[in-house]
Amino acid sequence: MNTRRKNRLYVVVAILVGLSLATALVMYALRSNIDLFYTPSEILYGKGEAHTLPEAGQRLRVGGMVMPGSVKRDEKTLRVSFKLYDAKGVVNVSYEGILPDLFREGQGVVAQGELQAGNLIQAKEVLAKHDEKYTPPEITDAMNKNHQGTAAALPQGDRS
């Protein structure tokens, strides 16, 4: 192999290694900023056909309805705990901060935070669902499917 071909080969290999390294660094950086969306039943029973359970310490977003009678406020701090439910499960959420004006029992909310042991979500942000005139059909179908049940229809063990 002559010198010119050897130099071209080195340049091509260096470019490929550089691109691979840059791609790996970008993927690693994005991995820590990805918040996957779950419903309470997906946290308890797994997501998708593989029933993949989220791990403790994972950042995620949980969407569900605030269970009536579950909101507990600390009188001395801004700490609030409540339960989110869907048709098949209930998870506990703990949040410290000012809740949105639209937050109330029986209302749909999305809590963004970190999953702790015991299916507790330590929320860093709580978003209350507002009354919208248009909802995409896919979201309407998912909400109807996930929220057909009421809090009273859940098994006794899930409401504690």
Q: What are phi and psi of 18, to 5 degrees?
A: -65, -45
pLDDT digits (tens, 9 = 90+) for 105-115: 888 888 999 98
Q: What are phi and psi of 132, to 5 degrees?
A: -110, 150
Least confident of 29-33, 41-45, 57-61, 131-135: 131-135
DSSP, res 157 = G
Where are the chain's structural domains? Answer: 1-34, 36-158
- Centre a 10 Å sphere on the Cβ of residue 111 and count the other Cβ atoms it contains: 23
Strand segments (E) across 2-104: 36-38, 59-66, 72-73, 79-85, 90-96
Model pLDDT, residue 149 = 52
Q: Count CA within 13 A, CB hemisphere, residue 132.
A: 9
Model pLDDT, residue 38 = 86
| Mean pLDDT over each residue of the chain, to the nearest integer | 81
Binding positions for heme are: 130, 134
Binding positions are: 130, 134
Residue closest to 63 by CA, chosen among 28, 87, 97: 87
Q: Residues 6 or more apart from 74 whose CB is under 8 A from it?
A: 80
Tokens of 68: 């009536």
Model pLDDT, residue 33 = 62
Answer whether 0.75 is exceeded by the pTM. Answer: no
CA separation for the pair 60, 118 (Å, rounded): 15
Q: Pick 36-158's CATH classification: 1.10.540.10, 3.50.50.60, 3.30.70.60, 2.40.50.140.
A: 2.40.50.140
Residue 157 has pLDDT above 50, yes or no: no
Residue 130 has pLDDT above 70, yes or no: no
